[in-house]
Chains A and B, each alone.
Chain A
Amino acid sequence: MPEITIDSYIILSTTLFIIGALGVLLRRNAIIVFMSIEMMLNAANLLFVAFSRHLGDIDGQVLVFFVITVAAAEVAVGLALIVAIFRTKKNIDIDTLNLMKG
Chain B
Amino acid sequence: MRVELIKRPQQSVLFSVISPFLALGLTVVFGALLFIALGKPPLTALRLYFVEPLTELWSVHELAVKAGPLILIAVGLSVCYRSNNWNIGAEGQFIFGAIAGSSVPILLPGFQNFATMPLMLLLGMAGGAAYAAIPAFLKARFNANEILTSLMLVYVAELFLDWLVRGIWRDPAGMAFPGSVRFPTAATLPELAPTQGNAHFGFLLALIAAVAVWFFLARTLKGFEVRVIGLSPRAGRFAGFSTPRMVFFSFMLAGALAGLAGISEVSGAIGQLREVISPGYGFTAIIVAFLGRLNPLAIIGAGLLLALTYLGGEAAQISLGISDKVVRVFQGTLLFFVLACDSLIYYRIRVSFGNAAQAA
A and B: real partners? no
A residues lining the B interface (CB < 8 Å) = none
B residues lining the A interface (CB < 8 Å) = none
